[in-house]
Structure 1
Amino acid sequence: MKSRFFLAIDIGTSGCKVALVNSEGKIVRKIKETYEVFINGHKVEQSPEDWWLSTVKAIRKVMTGHDKKSVEAVCVAGQSPVVLPIGRDGKPLSRAILWMDRRAIKQADLISEVSGWKADPSEVIPKILWLRDNKPELYRRTAAFLQASDYINYRLTGRIVTDHYTALTSNYDIDRGEWPHYITELEINDLLPRVCKPGEIIGQISEEASKNLGLERDVKVVVGSIDAFTATLGSGLLSPRDACDITGTSTCLFVVTKRRVLDSKARILTVPHFIEGLNLSFGMISTSGALVDWLVKLMYHREKEPYKVLTEEAENSPPGSNGLVVIPHFAGSRTPSWDPDMRGLMAGLTLSHKRGDIARGIFEGCAFALKHVVNHLEKGGVLVGDIRAGGQGSTNTFWCKLKASITGRTYLILNEPDVTLLGCGILAMYATGYYKSLEEAMKSVVRVAGVVKPDKKLMKMYGEVYRTYLATYNWLVGRNRSSG
């Protein structure tokens, strides 16, 4: 029997990744195509055509020299929350509004009032209302609002669907399988896609997509999900207390729990797990890897290997970054404070600080923000065990060591860092019958390749620095509230 393969696609913030996954769940080849992010104050956008062209280019590259008849299915994950209005002809009416975009503050306040839950400007419904209020002609012409993975699935099949986790960012009620009353009252529900479960097969690729991608027409399209959620599959989160830190542009920390934790202020977020009977509690940091990229562009762009040099210089800076404290919320804060006006801060800068101190300060600041999330989860009754490391950040051993010592948790380094792509592969293999259950697929595919334990001396020292970090963070929160 010929070996079968699956295409995994991740429409991320910095670029599109495509991987070829074999039927044993191993990524045998992967390609990344980057695209531009357009930032103007609170507004953060991307071109949906860039998403599609990058997907086409990456698939063609990853398939070079490979038998196209061996590809059985494709599964797409994507960044979220995203708002992309398309017209009745299926063409985008504007750039996509990304999850980092914070323009819809007024509209988020309205949703908080009508829903009774803390809404954030990053979410879908506030952004849709912003378009309604500020671009009424565009809103009138809109036939549907899609997210990143929805749009790629549409280009693949011509069908407008989403998955129930992506729909959550539009306030979808997974338990009841319906949109809440206020979405209907606002007359938005008819502009949102049909909701499917991740792992459903929505059809085969269209003739046009087949020609563009160089694939056979019988390739099945499997519904994926939000990139970070899909990454929990690729991280092998199966049992209560299992946790994973997914660090790319941003950071998400997920923990498996049996109990559904409800928090109207959204300091802790909880959703049903892919596996029935379990839940995923989580917290998010808007900018982590994005800060490393920012510093590279600012101070390391002339180096031949900028990320390597940055990490080496950070490692040579002493713990505590020579008194520098970095609050890493450069694009607003998410959990636990949900403040779109929060800004980053470097406190304690002197003329003696070097760029390596700033680099270490960023690594430490992101780790302190992660500890802040861990502490809030545990205060809410969510026990956090060993943390599995995924995403591009997991390839930085120094950063993983810092996180282990600052959070006081053992970090488990996985055999495949691209856990979102692996999660897409798992969904595709499950959907096409290669595994009877997601649990079976995860147990078979995901492996721990290394262990990073906390350094006890650093834990004690960083406990003191964390108190300074927290005092600085609380001062910044108070300053924002008093000025607002």
Structure 2
Amino acid sequence: MGYTLGVDIGTFESKGVLVEDGGRIVAQASRAHEMIVPRAGWAEHRAEENWWGDFVFITRRLIADSGIDPSKIRAVATSAIGPCMLPVDADGAPLINGVLYGVDTRAAREIEDLNAEIGADTILARCGNALTSQSVGPKILWFRRNHPDLWVRTARILTSTSYITSRLTGEYVIDHYTAANFSPLYDMARQDWCFDLSDICPPEMLPKLMWSTDIAGHVTEAAARETGLAAGTPVTCGTIDAAAEAVSVGVRGPGDMMMMYGSTIFIILLSDKPLSDPRLWHAPWLFQGQHAAMAGLATSGTLTHWFRDRFARELDRDGAFGVLAREAEASPPGARGLICLPYFSGERTPIHDSSAKGTFFGLDLTHDRGDMYRAVLEGIASATRHIADTYADAGQTPARVLAVGGGTKNRPWLQATSDLTGLDQIVCSVTTGASYGDAFLAALAVGQVKPDDIESWNPAGETIAAQEHAAYARQYPLFLQLYERTRDIMAALGHDT
């Protein structure tokens, strides 16, 4: 009997699984952590504590709980939030906190400057992606400008997954799927780094490019002592959490779409050719010859946590979401005329507006907490429909939608998303998420499974069928108009904070 181990580092929690041949989970572990928000528009993690510390905790717990011999673990794969920006010194030590993905909007000025210097059309043509808060290149430039004392000590720029892989193996690598988010430093057509568009950083600072299931290296003696893993265990290159999550539910061919319900909504749609649209993100998929078009909101699960912590403080923390879900279900579709714009951390796709603000519109004295929570869920679902409409406008529509993530347990949110987008959603039997996908990727890397084997690892489960509601047909256009008509006000408020 052989095993593979997968660990995923999320925005608020890290999870790991130990899986035996055939996909059965023999041990699970998790560890919570916080997202640091030192100021509005910033989002950070402590790389040593939250990323490596969580990895060490989880691997030790999995080995202890399962009682297996670590030498029987055939491979290890990691995914993590991304794309992130972490400068490290010559010893691999972090110089600042890890700067998170698109929810961190600190580099807005650098985006403007790079677009002016290079040209937005040139960047889109070469890199396949417009510069947005999701882009790592502007964040590197922000660090270089604002921390010149630390810049001179910087040996490499890593992301979350590459940092963990370096701690495990001593190798500095990154997968193509993650690297494509380093615009304007990645050439989409050549699938290689490019340094002729800007001098943001020297070539030696960026990790070696690999495919996600390539073996990056092997667990070192030092890493073995920390993690409890056996020295010499193969370690894959790894990838971003959303990609591993997509793998976990069987996204593997053109037309397959993953809808991930996490701290943000994140969507991946596979295609047989590259799609270039400035409203979406694009990357080579985890395997050569495949392509992906991505989209994501800035706040989703994060917004439900915010609502719970502000408006349901009297409820038991563990059971609060169940109570709120029942209250939302008692409110009719449309939340009795209440509209929520879920732009509480700006917004990513498709509007890419870091100045966008969260809004409750239409409140009157008859509304209660259930109406407001339903409006939050429908606001997220409306923003998700905006993304679905953008895919359709760009000529890409899904053949099937596979839902995954902790938010799939929130029935009114799941149903509102199907109803507003008009898309049926399949919820697979195993909902462990990205860490399960990591374990499958590890098995792929060592030839233990083939891509289609994910169907037996994680069979399809319930289908959430889309239903029509007159309230949604009436309110969705108003949702779009509300943002358009208040966008200037939102920008003005942003300038005053």
Q: Deviation per CA, 1:191-217, whole angstroms, max 9, x where unpaired? A: 111111100112211111111111211
- Partner of 1:369 in structure 2? 383
- Report the CA distance shift for 1:188/1:339 in structure 2 as closer, same or farther (over 3 A): farther
Q: Distance in 1 between matches of 2:151 and 2:202?
A: 11
The match for 2:114 is 111
SS of the aligned residue for 1:370 comes to helix
What is the correspondence of 1:34-433 to structure 2 with a 5 Å cutoff? Answer: 34-39=32-37, 40-50=39-49, 51-65=51-65, 66-67=67-68, 68-99=70-101, 100-113=103-116, 114=118, 115-117=122-124, 118-171=130-183, 172-182=186-196, 185-263=199-277, 266-304=278-316, 305-433=319-447
Q: Using a 3 Å threshold, how does the CA distance of structure 1 residues 341 and 15 change in structure 2: closer, same or farther?
A: same
Letter in 1 for 2:95: L
The superposition leaves residues 265-319 of structure 1 with CA deviations (integer Å, 9 ceiling, x where unpaired) of x213333333554432222111101001111111223322111111111111121
Q: Which amino acid aligns with 1:91?
A: A
Corresponding residue SS for 2:269: strand
Aligned residues: 476
Distance 1:441 1:274, change over 3 A: farther
Shift of 1:153: 0.8
1:156 Cα deviation from its structure 2 partner = 1.0
TM-score (norm 2): 0.91
* Cα 1:142/1:277, change in 2 over 3 Å: closer
Q: Contact 2:181–2:283 (CA<8 Å) still a contact in 1?
A: no
The structure-2 alpha-carbon separation of the partners of 1:274 and 1:56, relative to structure 1 and needing over 3 Å to count, comes to closer
Whether the 8 Å CA contact 2:180–2:282 is kept in 1: the answer is no
Encode CA deviations 1:451-476: one digit per residue, 9 max, x unaligned.
111123x2x33121111111112223
Letter in 2 for 1:22: E
Cα distance, 1:241 vs. partner? Answer: 2.5
In structure 1, C-alpha distance between the alignment counterparts of 2:142 and 2:412, rounded to whole Å: 42
Which runs of no fewer than 5 residues in structure 1 stay unpaired? none
Distance 1:358 1:396, change over 3 A: same
Task: Provide the rounded CA distance (Å) in 1 between the counterparts of 2:100 and 2:6.
Answer: 22
Residues 339 and 379 in structure 2, CA contact (< 8 A), matched pair in contact too: yes
Q: TM-score, normalised by structure 1?
A: 0.94
- Displacement of 1:28 in angstroms is 3.0
* In structure 2, distance between residues paired with 1:328 and 1:386: 26
Indicate conservation of the 8 Å contact 1:183/1:189, yes or no.
no
Q: Where does residue 485 of structure 2 map in the other structure?
A: 475
Compare relative contact order (CA 8 Å, sep 6+) and give the higher one, 1 or 2.
2
CA distance in 1, matches of 2:214, 2:378: 40
Q: Can you give the 5+ residue segments of structure 2 that lack an aligned partner in the other structure?
A: 125-129
**% identical aligned pairs:** 29
Secondary structure of 1:469's match? Answer: helix
Compute the displacement of 1:237 (Å): 1.9
Query: For 1:376, what is the secondary structure of its paired residue?
Result: helix
Aligned residue for 1:101, secondary structure, equals coil
Contact 1:395-1:417 within 8 A present in 2 as well: no
